[in-house]
Amino acid sequence: MLEGIISAAVVIAVGVFGFLLRGYFGTYVSEKGKNLATREDIAQITAQIENVKASIQTLAQLKTDYEQQRRHWLLSFYDSSVEMLHEKFSVNFGDFPSDAGRSLFEFQQSFRGIVASMVKEYQRIVLYFDEEDPLVLNAEKTLRVVLEAYSVFKERFRQIRLTSMEEGAAFKSGDPQRIDEAVAKSNDANEVYWDQMRPIAESFRDALHQYLSFVNQFLRKDSHIDSQVS
């Protein structure tokens, strides 16, 4: 009888212990799972935050690159315009050496190169600014004057070269009459060229002055924004 009571008590105790053990391990496993899920959530959130930060940095860099390109092409167009004004519209062909037209040929190639550069730089400005922006409108006005000048250049410069080469050959010959005739022809060619080019050069100077005014406004405004951000 006593052994039966003891056996029953042992069974009950084992059952209770087993129940408690299952409860303990069930709770442990559940908490362990929750902790694991929490760590995974944190890892996912951290990864998303890093992705967002990377995207923000990428957008910031793109904005910086965009603003730098806007400034670059505005100033490149201005630099080419200044070169045109002070090197091509202010030249004295009489100062060129008598080298069988080689220096004049180089001048011709350089003139074409500046015009080509200004066309490309204007097209870049159009890409980075609204078509009604004063910067675009003034760059277009400046470019139109340059293209008008280039039309005169193509029409008249060939005669400048030919008469200059003839003048050099005449001086080498030592024939006074030939020299006088060559000089007269050269002077006539220069006069015709500058009669057409001089008013265009003045228009170009005015257009460039207006363009520079708007560029200065843009750069001051842009610098003010940068200083506020920093």
pLDDT of residue 11: 46
Count CB neighbours of 2 within 10 A: 6
Q: How far is it, in rounded angstroms, from Cα 129 to Cα 72? A: 13
Structure tokens at 229: 């951000």
Q: Closest Cα to residue 114, out of 139, 140, 78?
A: 78
Profile the chain (230 residues) by mean pLDDT over runs of 10 residues: 43 46 50 60 66 70 84 96 95 89 95 97 95 94 97 96 93 92 95 96 96 94 51
- pTM, two decimals, is 0.73
What is the model's pLDDT at position 48?
66
Query: Is 97 in a helix, a strand, or coil?
Result: coil
- The token pair at 54 is 């990377």
User: Nearest-CA neighbor of 84 among 207, 213, 170?
Assistant: 207
The answer to whether the CB of 84 falls within 8 A of the CB of 114 is: yes
Please, which residues have CB within 8 angstroms of residue 147's CB and are 6 or more apart in sequence? 115
Phi/psi at 151 (5° precision): -65, -45
Q: Are 119 and 149 in contact (CB under 8 A)?
A: no
Contact 168, 185 (CB under 8 A): no
